[in-house]
Amino acid sequence: MAYIIRRIILFVVTMVLVSLITFSVFQVMPGDPIRIMLGTEADETQVETLKKQLGLDQPLYVQYIDWVKGLVTGDLGESIRFSRPVTELLADRLPVTISLALITLLIVVIVAIPLGIFVAKRQNKLSDVVLSSATQLGMAIPSFWLGMLLILYLGMNFSFFTISGYVPWTQSVAGALGAILLPALTIAIPQIAVKFRYVRNAILEQLRLDYVRTIRSKGITEKFVMYKHVLRNSMIPILTIFGLITAEVVAGTIIVEQVFSLPGIGQLLITSISYRDFPLVQGIVMYITFIVVLINFLVDILYSVLDPRIRLN
């Protein structure tokens, strides 16, 4: 219990720090949003009025506090470029990015873990060597190129896949899957290529430990040794890796959404940056960091479920 409370405090502190950093970065970034909105010809009174309207004439700490208040109440201000509330824009795009990220994670988990176990059992055999080379390849392939290959070979040949744009889940589940699957694979493949090795190593490390010998000495079959004891113990390091993957997957969506013209958060982020749409950029950055910090928080909580040494200390 004390462990969970400590984690919650840490979570809140991290979010406060993230909000501070996000806020200050945009203060020192070059480019004046007012100038971009009004054009270079605008006169001073216009600029002053708009500044007042947007609250940009206030001292920084007041601006920060207002912004944090907005974060908590769900009011992130209005987008300068789209003249719509940031929350509304995010809500439009969120389902796309969240489906993409979740499906990607799902693919990584259901492929990388069994693959890692498979290779761990065949240590130093041919399949191990072959898959190691696959890792090198997987790491070297740039994701935009992999995305284009998938469009070319799968997207163009099977009508199931939508190679550009998005179909909402509420409209058609098959359609949504068709739109999400290829971009999800694009992010998942390099992740799998690298992460299954971590799974393999985590399992091999466990297999070397004394307790495995004890379990075998009890006459427990190898299947039970692997799936009850070793896998459960390996889940602790594996979980750490999957916490990291989440951050990488969220980052991956930004590029892949461009390749597949998916109207997600990533695309919105790139547009908003090029227009110096600060309220929107800040909102998106906060949203992305919130997701990543939240996942890490959940991973920490899961640790305590998996490992009694953490739970009971």
Partner 1 sequence: MNTPQIKSASTKLLQEDLLLEVKGLKTYFKLGKGKVAKAVDNVSFSINKGETVALVGESGSGKSITSLSIMRLIPKPPGEIVEGSIRLEGKELLTLSENEMTEVRGNEIGMIFQEPMTSLDPVFTIGNQIVESLMKHQKMKKREAYEKAIELLKVVGFSRAEVIINEYPHQLSGGMRQRVMIAIAMSNNPKLLIADEPTTALDVTVQAQILNLMVDMKEQFGSSILLITHDMGVVAEVANRVLVMYGGQIVEEAPVKDLFLKTKHPYTKALLKTIPSIDVELERLDSIPGMVPPAHLFPTGCRFAERCVHVMAKCREENPELMENSPNHKVRCHLYEQVGGI
Footprint of partner 1 (CB under 8 A) = 124, 209-211, 213-222, 229, 232-233, 306-309, 312
**Of 64, 29, 93, 68, the residue nearest 277 (C-alpha):** 29
d(CA 252, CA 27): 27
Radius of gyration of the chain (CA): 24
Q: Which is nearer to partner 1, 52 or 309 (CB)?
A: 309
Q: What six digits make up the tokens of 270?
A: 């790139």
Q: Which is nearer to partner 1, 235 or 259 (CB)?
A: 235
Least distance from C-beta 209 to partner 1, angstroms?
7
**Of 293, 280, 282, the residue nearest 80 (C-alpha):** 280
Q: Which is nearer to partner 1, 6 or 232 (CB)?
A: 232
Least distance from C-beta 4 to partner 1, angstroms?
18
Q: Which is nearer to partner 1, 10 or 215 (CB)?
A: 215
Least distance from C-beta 5 to partner 1, angstroms?
21
Least distance from C-beta 134 to partner 1, angstroms?
24
**Of 295, 291, 271, the residue nearest 281 (C-alpha):** 271
d(CA 121, CA 293): 34
Burial of 201 (0-12, 13-18, 19+ CB in 10 A): middle
Q: Which is nearer to partner 1, 133 or 221 (CB)?
A: 221
Least distance from C-beta 27 to partner 1, angstroms?
48
